[in-house]
Chain A
């Protein structure tokens, strides 16, 4: 299978099963293009989190092919996967902040992993915290932050490395509607800078907030793509299943 260079991620007939259970994902095929905004929807248990785990390289599929940034990541040796992970930002549903680190250190973590010197990361981390409205809470530990504040720290951590693709699992699940809208605006701002954004949500109201977004709907492990838009997306402004 060959992928044009501008295809960021390509799933082809991907199936996933845990143990001997039935497949939680079946024949999933789609393509993610650079700079697009995707919503992944579906009922609880539809397989959204499983699909995201495949996307952020936490899991290998049981069958099918996955290409990322031009490489077949299924056959890639595992020692080469960290380089691919550094091109992604992940916002976990449960935030997964390091409990004993301050908000500042949590946000700085991807830069430290990427080898950025301490002197070079102070300003960017402070800017990021200010951007997510937590400039005054940089020394606070996650346990002392509200759910919304923790969510914003998780988002700042996910985007500070300027990822090519941002994957967010129910990022608005723990916040009020006003904060949810703010977070979506953050994702949009990042998307405008060229980052591909994939947001898993069961909140249908949210889908309408982002014009030109593409919607990936999972139903019992199957991806609905009746118009083929997820494999051959229309150009911006002509999105068939847009949230606008």
Chain B
């Protein structure tokens, strides 16, 4: 029996072509999008995009509120006698105007103060002077004002206007900012949990795929396939699945975020408008599926390599 030329050679055929692409893909028989992996990743990415979108919106909201109100303070002159109150208010305003840490001083007109309390006191009581209302002065501090400025101003005003009380607007905003911060941390925690869950799902899927393709893996192993070659076969499969799932998840999550954004914008609230996502935020959301793909591929590789190490 005459042997074929390939056997008549002194040595076996060898080369440097990687076991990749179609050559590798054919070793794992699975219809694309047929398994659960792309759908699991799509759901994970969609949830992550929604959580991240919410977190970014809250961050923007808190940032805008802090920026708008952080440097503002209100001086109240609490004095029952109208003339004394007006005198103290004028003295306080004059002192504030010359202070280098103050960029704007705006006494609030009496009728506006009355309008503010009218819902609680009634028009007659508020405007008629039946109830003495404090004089208010809006103050805006310089952006580079040192941290103890309000205390310093308070001490200075105490001498000029004994009835003066100074309140930073950030003080009453603090609970709101605290709540926003808590929500933002919750979003970050949610993202971390989703990343962990995605990795766990990929780990399970890779183990499942490894189990159902064990015979093929053993054959490739016996034929001299290296761990890296075999891991590469799975990586490719997971890469394609996670790319498809990631793209789908991004579309679903992006649509949800855009719809929520439109609903909040429809509230026509200045505060809510501050939470609108910027172009940079949207770019960040687009990066999420890429992270998901990286996590999926890395997890699959580590899972397969760990399993292969148990074989000789």
Contact = CB atoms under 8 A, between A and B. Distances in A.
A58 B13 contact: no
B217 to A, nearest CB: 10
Interface stretch (B63-71, B100-108, B221-229, B288-296): B221-229
A190 B9 CA distance: 11
Contacts of A83: 224
Interface string B199-233: 00000000000000001101111111111010000
User: What is the predominant secondary structure among interface residues of chain A facing chain B?
Assistant: helix
A161 B4 contact: no
Interface in A89-128: 90, 96-101, 105, 109-118, 120-121, 123-124, 127-128
A188 to B, nearest CB: 8
A161 B14 CA distance: 8
B12 interface: yes
Interface stretch (B21-29, B125-133, B269-277): B21-29
Nearest to A81: B312
Nearest to A161: B12
Given A79-B226, A98-B219, A105 B26 contact: yes
B7 interface: yes
B19 interface: yes
A128 B218 CA distance: 23
A97 B19 CA distance: 18
Contact of A79 (B3, B17, B222, B227): B227
A85 B1 CA distance: 27
A96 B312 contact: no
Contacts of A130: 4
B312 A58 contact: yes
Interface in B155-210: none
B222 A85 contact: yes
B17 A116 contact: yes
A193 B3 contact: yes
B280 interface: no
Interface residues of B, number: 37
Given A112-B23, A193-B8, A82 B312 contact: no
Contact of B6 (A79, A127, A157, A188): A127
A200 interface: no
B283 interface: no
Given A159-B7, A162-B12, A162-B13, A96 B219 contact: yes
A80 B215 CA distance: 22
A84 B312 CA distance: 12
A159 B309 CA distance: 27
B146 interface: no
Q: Quick one: which of B14, B229, B309 has the most chain A CB within 10 A? A: B14
B15 interface: yes
Nearest to B13: A116
A131 B13 contact: no
Contact of A82 (B4, B15, B17, B224): B224
B5 interface: yes
A163 interface: yes
Nearest to A163: B12
Nearest to B11: A162
B13 A111 contact: yes
B312 A78 contact: yes
Given A59-B312, A98-B27, A120-B15, A113 B225 contact: yes
9 contacts: A105-B26, A111-B13, A112-B17, A116-B14, A117-B15, A128-B6, A130-B4, A160-B7, A162-B9
CB-based closest 5 A-B pairs: A86-B224, A162-B12, A127-B4, A124-B6, A115-B15
Interface of B: 1-9, 11-19, 23, 26-27, 29, 215-216, 218-227, 229, 309, 312
